[in-house]
Amino acid sequence: MGLTTGLRTSRQDLLWWFTMSEPDSDTLDPSSLRTPIVAVLGHVDHGKTSLLDKIRGSAVIEGEAGAITQHIGATAVPLDVISSIAGDLVDPDDFDLPGLLFIDTPGHHSFTTLRSRGGALADIAILVVDVNDGFQPQTLEALDILKRSQTPFIVAANKIDTVPGWNPNEDSPINATYDAQSDRVSSRLDESLYEIIGNLSDEGFSADLYWRVQNFQRNVGVVPVSAMTGEGVPDLLAVMMGLSQRYMKEEMEIDVQGPGVGTVLEVKEEKGFGTTIDTVLYDGTIRADDEIVVGGQNDPIVTEVRALLQPRPLAEIRTESRFEKVEEVSAAAGIKVAAPDLADAMAGAPVRIVRDRDLEGVRTEVEAELADIAVDTEEQGVVVKADTLGSLEAMADALSEAELPIVRAEVGDVAPRDVSVASTAEDPKQQVILGFNVDTVSDAERRAENDDVRIFTDEVIYQLIDEYEEFVDELERAQQDTILENIVRPARFRILPDHTFRQNDPAVVGVEVNSGTLQNNTHVVKFDGNEPERVGQVKGIQEQGEDIDEARAGNRVSVAIDGPTVGRQIEEDDELWTQIPEKHAKILEQELAGEIPGDELEALNMYLEKLRKRDPFWGK
């Protein structure tokens, strides 16, 4: 069965599942509705930026350049332009929302930066998955972020044009382009799409191709697209608008002229303006000369807006160096704010406009939001650094799930002071710094080498934790190996008949090791019932004339035992044991039982059984 079976092709049918029995939304004033904020996530090279560029480029072609408002870190695409791109799939008369604001940030980690009153700032997300590569590490991490933040999302199954034999039909809805493909090509695409749906199921998400989804609150819709040819992009925009209209309309109501509320996206130096903050505004309005409160590394920063800057219309925001001054900006939008004293501002921190409100009350709001983000620390643990407050919180959540304590958690690159804190840890496993999407300054690297502090950095949280856990495993194995090197190992061995080479000073006999590890320089006992009697000490082990340090179960070797005389204290065919100190027996049983071979554990248990018949608490 092809993927388009049952596909509704009319605009009315497409919007049926979004608009049916919409809850009392007609009472909302369309003029007070802000643009839904859309974040785009996915694995590197799966086409996040290409998809945004395609939407932006299509918007430029279909609309007047001045109508596409591109701010710092965001591209606002108005409803009429979306309708032009989507064609019959989106009729402006069916919608009250003004369009979509696409957050243009590199990498899914920036998604965690975008916070709004303790939650994710993005109202909805697009998870981009390459139909050829399927799920990759950052795909899984993006899903984890979406799950934690409870952000609704759809999947853009990208690069359908790379299916071998694909016949492109540029900028068309998916049903039209699918119908133009051969059965062989359609079958290959179906296989890739259902593999993605299966991957989503494995991660706990019920999903299907978007036109088959009856309830988008319970199921994830998958939209096949091509960021290169634009195929399926009309469907993607239609679904995004439909979901926003159906499920988020009431949440989009704001006080347009009220004091602005936003989040710091990035803190940047800007020539001629000093330190500036790229801000995503999600409520109200910000104006030049407004007094603002911004979350800082120590205390909230109270300052006054000197200038509001935005790139020229449709300029590439990541490389734009020329900005236009504007007098005010209303939500939802991205804007660069120039103001004094912003050096300590933090990515992910709240921004509040004071205007006609009490300054201390606004400062208290900012402090409260920062307190919500604050990471719980303990007296002992690892040091954590992250690029933003949201990332730091995500790291803290992941470490908490892994039951890893944190002693210090901050935004910023790894610095010498972080190494100083990590070096004071009592446990070597905690002399560690975990850095998410941050750099390490050279002084910190040198200091870490001198202080024996390990620094781990990665751009994927769970990979960072995996690297740390691998380090801990290696460290524990090394510690156990060191303990085993200095601990007496259990062994049970028998003197072979007709294998007495010397009777005493020392006695030299041939033995077979029945279980365990016979080591040189260990004491030897012989049991009389359950009573151990020391008979001597191993002074040498030879195998085929070569000196060795130990002999394992199954080996036949000659052993020199200082102390006994064969025929008196020991006899041929006697069963002898390595004498284990009580402290060593306790460590072996309680800490190293899983690290020693099974036959060695067997010898230990037999040894303990004998001694505990005499003293039930021996070695406990």
Structure tokens at 216: 């988008």
CA distance linking residue 414 with residue 434, whole number of Å: 9
CATH code for the structural domain at 374-484: 3.40.50.10050
- pLDDT score at 314: 46
Structure tokens at 314: 């449709």
Alpha helices, DSSP H only, in 248-314? none
Number of Cα atoms under 13 Å in the Cβ half of residue 69:
19
Q: How many CB atoms lie within 10 A of CB 18?
A: 19
- pLDDT score at 43: 80
pTM for this one?
Answer: 0.63
How is the chain split among helix, strand and coil, in percent rounded to 5? 35, 30, 35
Q: Which CATH number fits domain 35-252: 3.40.50.300, 3.40.50.2300, 3.30.2270.10, 3.40.980.10?
A: 3.40.50.300
Its CATH architecture, for the domain 261-370, is Beta Barrel (2.40)
Intrachain domains 35-252 and 261-370 with the same fold: no
Residue 37: CB partners within 8 Å, gap ≥ 6?
A: 74, 101, 103, 114, 121, 122, 123, 124, 280, 282, 332
CA distance linking residue 7 with residue 190, whole number of Å: 14
Contact between 178 and 186 under an 8 Å Cβ cutoff? The reply is yes
pLDDT beneath 70, residues of the chain:
1-31, 58-73, 104-120, 311-322
Residue type, 448: A
Cis peptide before 125 (omega within 30 of 0): no
Structure tokens at 610: 């004998």
Domain 491-614 fold? Elongation Factor Tu (Ef-tu); domain 3 (2.40.30)
List, for residues 515-559, the tens digit of each pLDDT value: 999 999 999 999 988 889 999 999 999 999 899 999 999 999 999
For residue 586, give the 3-state DSSP assignment. helix
Structure tokens at 602: 């067997």
CA distance linking residue 596 with residue 409, whole number of Å: 39
Burial of 10 (0-12, 13-18, 19+ CB in 10 A): exposed
Number of Cα atoms under 13 Å in the Cβ half of residue 526:
16
CA distance linking residue 277 with residue 270, whole number of Å: 9
Domain ranges of the chain: 35-252, 261-370, 374-484, 491-614
CA distance linking residue 125 with residue 150, whole number of Å: 11
